[in-house]
């Protein structure tokens, strides 16, 4: 069962400049940054709010690190802007299977590693009214040490 909007992915040419825009304009601060070699991106997660299911909602800013990445190709075709929407779920495997059973193409046979250790898969935009859609199971939150 999908429980929240986990994040909205925004493709950009210059991550640092885009982060500064969101910080200066809206006061959003960077919660997490990483380079995802598999996806070919450098990213920043800007936390918007916590959610009732223990997760959070973010803006994910994505800058390609190589020309053959999906985000680089998307930027070349569309320019900067909203790249995808991601829905949070406790069971990315189960929800991906359920959506597949309804005729929606799931782009990965098995979920892959996403931001902050999450497990992700994508749904084909042609099956989702033109919207690239991601399903995300967040990594477990570790209990603080005492």
What sign has the CA pseudo-torsion 11, 12, 13, 15? negative
- The yes-or-no answer on residue 80 being catalytic is no
Among 13, 37, 43, 83, the active-site one is: 43
Domains and CATH numbers, the chain: 1-135 (3.10.180.10)
Mean pLDDT of the region 52-62: 89
- The yes-or-no answer on residue 7 being catalytic is yes
What is the reported pTM?
0.90
Q: Which two tokens stand for residue 72?
A: 């680089």
Tens digit of each residue's pLDDT (9 = 90 or more) over 105-128: 999 999 999 999 999 999 999 999
Among 39, 60, 63, 83, the active-site one is: 60
Cα–Cα distance measured from residue 23 to residue 1, given in angstroms and rounded to the nearest whole number:
32
Report CA dihedral (37, 2, 96, 54) to the nearest 10 degrees: 50
Among 7, 39, 63, 83, the active-site one is: 7
- The yes-or-no answer on residue 32 being catalytic is no
- The yes-or-no answer on residue 63 being catalytic is no
Tens digit of each residue's pLDDT (9 = 90 or more) over 70-79: 999 999 999 9
């Amino acid at each position: 069962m999908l429980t929240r909007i986990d994040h909205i992915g925004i493709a950009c040419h210059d991550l640092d400049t885009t982060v500064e825009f969101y910080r200066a304009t809206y006061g959003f601060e960077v919660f997490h940054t990483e380079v995802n070699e598999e996806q070919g991106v450098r990213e920043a997660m800007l936390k918007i709010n916590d959610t009732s299911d223990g997760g959070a909602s973010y803006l994910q800013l994505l800058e390609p690190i190589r020309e053959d990445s999906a985000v680089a190709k998307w930027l070349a075709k569309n320019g900067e802007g909203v790249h995808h929407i991601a829905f949070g779920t406790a069971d990315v495997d189960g929800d991906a299977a359920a959506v597949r059973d309804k005729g929606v193409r799931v782009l990965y046979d098995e979920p892959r590693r996403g931001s902050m250790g999450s497990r992700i898969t994508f749904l084909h935009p042609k099956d989702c009214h033109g919207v690239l859609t991601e399903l995300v199971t967040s990594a477990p939150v570790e209990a603080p040490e005492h």
